[in-house]
Structure 1
Amino acid sequence: MLSYDELTRPERELWDAFPEGRRVDLRTGSPEDDRVADGGRWGPERTVRAAVIAALLLDANAAQPGVVASLTLAGARISGPLNLAGAQISHPLWLEDCWFEEGVNLFGAETRTIAITGSRVPGLEAGSTRIEGRLDLLRSTVETGTVSAFHREISALSLTHAHVTGGMILNGATLSAPEGWALSAGGLVTDGGVFCGSGFVAHGEVRLLGAQLLGGLFMRGARLERPGPRGVALALDNAVTSTLEFSRGFTANGTVRLRGTRVSDNLSFEDAVLNGPPDGDGPALVCMLMQAVDFDLTLARPPSGTVDLRGAQVSYLHDNEHSWPDVVELEGFVYGSIRVAVAGERREAVGRPDSVAHRMRWIRRSPGYSPQPYEQLASWYRTAGHDDDARRVLLAKQRHRRRTLQPAARAWGRLLDATVGYGYRPWLAGVWLLLLTLLGTLAFGAGTPTAVKAGEGPRFQPLVYTLDLLIPIGGLGQRAAWYWSHGPLEWLSYLLIAFGWILTTAVIAGVSRTLQKS
């Protein structure tokens, strides 16, 4: 139990101010002397023991009637560990421009608003903590350190399974754990927004597995550096949130992983930079099984690693010329609309002269062959009323598939492609029929055939004879009445019969394929 007589002058000042919620400011007013980075040199006149702060928050000095007690301290060097693990704290804590010798332990505590702004803290453990209010670390530097005599943290800021009823403010903060987790917050629940912008920097992995960020996560202009041995800058797997905003200069030097994440509104990477792991061995963005309404991937420059969208579902996809790296995983990716920026406005990306060719190049960035990306793109074109573009996409799908087949099947595929465009260009059969009819009419018109029965049967008509050879079903009477006994015209008649069967078979196969949407 602390005695008032053993308190130092700054501690007595804080003790007396606490019941009335008054602020104690130990700063000198000189910018050079008040730099928090040099707080280790501050003397006894600016030093407050962490044990005094803990005692006040645990009601060692009762509040005055009619006022709200709170601990508000600025410009202090806080000596010793601030250990409030498991405590029930009914008073807000406001610390500004303070320098901590050791870490802060709030594990399992129930507390009010905690604001540690502009300060340097060697580790903050708040796992399983419930904060009725907000957590404010504005402009603070939190590093890995020791939060108790026996526990050295591998994470700078730990909020595993914590619940914050208000928001979290980390704007301008620096979280540093190059060999571990800058932020370890698996299972975190926040009712308000999480703000990590305005110069926020993380050295180490930001880990939010299974978090429920009901007010959204906003990392505008944030920088995620040195992701550690796993190469992951941000792990947000299986999280549930309203908004994810990684925009306005957001930079990730490591993998951004959103596997299984559900976003009820928008997910934005507008003007972001996704560099992927520093060694280049790993994806830049993983969104497998992710769900979002609005997905904005209009990046500032192309990602340096793979973008993985397998199984993702979005209603609106926004992209630009920088969105896609050399390798894009698209199998199972479902979208309702693709939009691009035109004259400063986002418009549906159909109707442009190079639309289909551009999207074909996009799909071909996906390794191997998968029919689903083609079918999804064709479905989008059909929904937008561009049936011709949809057929071009499906034709490209068949040509891509052909490269995976055995030689005989590839040969048959080339024949289907040349004759009827796999059923998506049936007019090609008409072109072939016209050319062969013209060839036969001219060739047979220059010769004299032999009658099967002299003086009987119809008069020889080169055009009708050619059509009779080309059409394998039924008969026009010419082929049964006339024949060529020798020479090139005999072989030409056989060739036209063969082409007739080939064209008929190709047309039937192509139409059947189209009807089956295979």
Structure 2
Amino acid sequence: MEIDNLTPAELRVWRAFPRGESVNFRTADDEDTAEGADWGPERTVRAAVLRALLLSGPQEEGEIPALKLAGARISGTLDLRYGTCDHAVRLSHCHFAGVPQLYGARLRQLNLSNSVLPGLTAGATRVEGVLRLSDCVVRGPVRLGGAQIANALFMERARLIAQDPSEPVLQLNQMTTGDDLWAPGLEIDGEMRLNGANIAGSINMNEARLTCPGRHALDAETLTVEGDFLMRHAQVRGWIGLRGARVTGRLDLSYASLVNPGDTALRASSCTIGELWLRRGSPMQGALNLRRAQTEVLFLEPEAVPDEVLLNNLVYTTLTPHEPAERRLAMLERDRDGYVPHAYEQLTASYLRIGDDRAARLVQLAKQRRHRRTLPWYGRLWGHVQDATVGYGFRPLRACVWLLSLLAIGSVAYGLHHPRPLKPSEAPDFNPVFYTLDLLLPVISFGQESAFAPDDGYQTLSYALVISGWILATTVFAGVTRTVSRQ
């Protein structure tokens, strides 16, 4: 490009480039970049001029060239596809008329902070430093799929607005960063995609607002995060998909609002997470899917649990905060899969690890009662008997109460009306207490039952005591066997 063809504004930029000097066309610190379409030629720079500078611009000996431009209207399309730029690029507070085309480009550093763009196409781009989109307003898709960013990607307070609902507005799938994805306060109207991305640092999306009702607000299947994934105070309308993701540190959804009624709000199935925090937020609207997920610490407050959960094969080592078993059991009752034995075993193990044996017994008792609902009528009937007599073995003192009660009834009844001896000359002295014990205890014999024969209603009472004794013995044996097996 001939330098004589440059406008005065472009000439300023051209002359500043070899020395890495800044050119600022802004008239006030608080001017609105969104009005940049009305800026005149005095602050308009053609994209072709910037392309020529970045690919083959002039250089001065002993100086480090750089493009540092603020407050400009950039007309045309900045096309650097497959190009290599060895200079730092800062185009802040600029208004882009066309979508920058950076696919496959190699850049030293790119800073588009506070700019307004109709979109950004930078898939497979390699950035040797940082990529900044802080405080940007983008009215179209940002395509960074497969990009390689050596340091961090900054998107704090950026606002992305979808023009085509069928296309994700932020595409970071298969992207890799050598540091953080820093995006607190990010606002997205449309889908954010992070499938297969690899973040060597942490993801900070605290106070983010993701809006895509009824669809993926955040699609991050098989995402890998070596640090933390923070979404504190985030507001999500739509559902979060984290199937198969791996977060080495903490996935923190404290104080977050997840709303996707009638469907899944958070799908974190088959995930591996160091710590999962769901606390202090408004009740989740939509299902919570943690099937086959694995986490060391599950920080889950009962108030944060939605009306529908999926917990089959969820594995956790520590469940916090410590809550009474009754509050935790309500969560298991909401499982969409119905009776899930593994969920009860996990909850029991978490209580046993902290020494709360009473809570562990309550969970096991609740498990048997829930299992009872899945049985045929005769199984439910036998289950009710075990529950009423010994609490499925987890309340053994009930058997003693039943035994003492029946012993008292039989002793009083037969003490007032002695049964007749079968062989008066050979019969021992009648003892109503031991006679009743002979009827109740199916194995032990005190010689009373075989020597005396009650009649009329007392014979019926003896049959009832024998049957009750067998039922008590069977349920106690079943309960003790279950307890020993569990231990």
Quick check: TM above 0.5? yes
Partner of 1:500: 469
| 1:103 is aligned to 2:99 | yes
Say which SS state the counterpart of residue 394 (structure 1) adopts.
helix
Partner of 1:128: 124
| 1:88 is aligned to 2:84 | yes
Equivalent residues in 2 for 1:395-406, closer than 5 Å: 395-406=365-376
- 1:52 deviates by 0.8
What TM-score results when the alignment is normalised by the length of structure 2? 0.96
- 1:193 deviates by 0.8
Equivalent residues in 2 for 1:266-281, closer than 5 Å: 266-276=250-260, 280-281=261-262
> What is the distance in 2 between the residues matched to 1:318 and 1:474?
52
Residue among 154, 160, 163 paired with 2:148: 163
- 1:363 deviates by 1.4
Partner of 2:288: 307
Deviations 1:411-450 (A, max 9, x none): 0111111112112122221111111111100000011211
Alpha carbons of structure 1 residues 382 and 261: separation in structure 2 relative to 1, 3 Å: same
| 1:293 is aligned to 2:263 | no
| 1:483 is aligned to 2:453 | yes
Deviations 1:166-203 (A, max 9, x none): 11111111111151212111111011111111x32101
Say which SS state the counterpart of residue 396 (structure 1) adopts.
helix
Deviations 1:365-414 (A, max 9, x none): 21211111111111111111111211111010000111111101100111
Corresponding letter in the other structure for 1:164: I
Partner of 1:37: 34
Say which SS state the counterpart of residue 284 (structure 1) adopts.
strand
Q: Are the counterparts in 1 of residues 77 and 99 from structure 2 also a CA contact under 8 Å?
A: yes
Alpha carbons of structure 1 residues 333 and 357: separation in structure 2 relative to 1, 3 Å: same
Partner of 2:43: 46
Q: Are the counterparts in 2 of residues 273 and 299 from structure 1 also a CA contact under 8 Å?
A: no
- 1:267 deviates by 1.0
> What is the distance in 2 between the residues matched to 1:235 and 1:515?
46
Residue among 247, 264, 268 paired with 1:263: 247
Residue among 459, 463, 469 paired with 2:439: 469
Residue among 208, 227, 235 paired with 1:251: 235
Partner of 1:173: 158
| 1:13 is aligned to 2:12 | yes
Partner of 2:68: 72
| 1:202 is aligned to 2:199 | no
Say which SS state the counterpart of residue 247 (structure 2) adopts.
strand
Q: Are the counterparts in 2 of residues 187 and 212 from structure 1 also a CA contact under 8 Å?
A: yes
> What is the distance in 1 between the residues matched to 2:6 and 2:135?
30
Identity of aligned residues (%): 38
- 1:123 deviates by 1.1
> What is the distance in 2 between the residues matched to 1:97 and 1:388?
63
Q: Are the counterparts in 1 of residues 269 and 291 from structure 2 also a CA contact under 8 Å?
A: yes
Partner of 1:59: 56
Deviations 1:137-169 (A, max 9, x none): 11111122xxxxxxxxxxx11111111011111
Residue among 199, 206, 216 paired with 1:232: 216
Q: Are the counterparts in 2 of residues 231 and 282 from structure 1 also a CA contact under 8 Å?
A: no
Say which SS state the counterpart of residue 418 (structure 1) adopts.
helix
Alpha carbons of structure 1 residues 456 and 30: separation in structure 2 relative to 1, 3 Å: closer
Corresponding letter in the other structure for 2:15: D
Alpha carbons of structure 1 residues 47 and 214: separation in structure 2 relative to 1, 3 Å: same
Equivalent residues in 2 for 1:401-440, closer than 5 Å: 401-440=371-410
Deviations 1:275-309 (A, max 9, x none): 12xxx331111111222222211142101111111
> What is the distance in 2 between the residues matched to 1:404 and 1:100?
64
> What is the distance in 2 between the residues matched to 1:65 and 1:418?
93
| 1:113 is aligned to 2:109 | yes
Corresponding letter in the other structure for 1:213: I
Residue among 451, 458, 462 paired with 2:421: 451
- 1:30 deviates by 7.5
Partner of 1:4: 3
> What is the distance in 1 between the residues matched to 2:438 and 2:192?
75
Q: Are the counterparts in 1 of residues 22 and 69 from structure 2 also a CA contact under 8 Å?
A: yes
Q: Are the counterparts in 1 of residues 103 and 125 from structure 2 also a CA contact under 8 Å?
A: yes
- 1:321 deviates by 4.9
Say which SS state the counterpart of residue 168 (structure 2) adopts.
strand
> What is the distance in 2 between the residues matched to 1:444 and 1:49?
111
> What is the distance in 2 between the residues matched to 1:183 and 1:420?
59
Say which SS state the counterpart of residue 283 (structure 2) adopts.
coil
Equivalent residues in 2 for 1:245-394, closer than 5 Å: 245-247=230-232, 249-276=233-260, 280-340=261-321, 349=322, 355-367=324-336, 368-394=338-364
Say which SS state the counterpart of residue 83 (structure 1) adopts.
coil
- 1:69 deviates by 0.7
> What is the distance in 1 between the residues matched to 2:460 and 2:303?
58
| 1:214 is aligned to 2:195 | no
Corresponding letter in the other structure for 1:517: R
Say which SS state the counterpart of residue 282 (structure 1) adopts.
strand
Q: Are the counterparts in 1 of residues 179 and 201 from structure 2 also a CA contact under 8 Å?
A: yes
Q: Are the counterparts in 1 of residues 240 and 266 from structure 2 also a CA contact under 8 Å?
A: yes
CA RMSD of the aligned region, Å?
Answer: 1.5
Corresponding letter in the other structure for 1:40: A
Gap regions ≥5 residues in structure 2? none
What TM-score results when the alignment is normalised by the length of structure 1? 0.91
- 1:517 deviates by 3.3
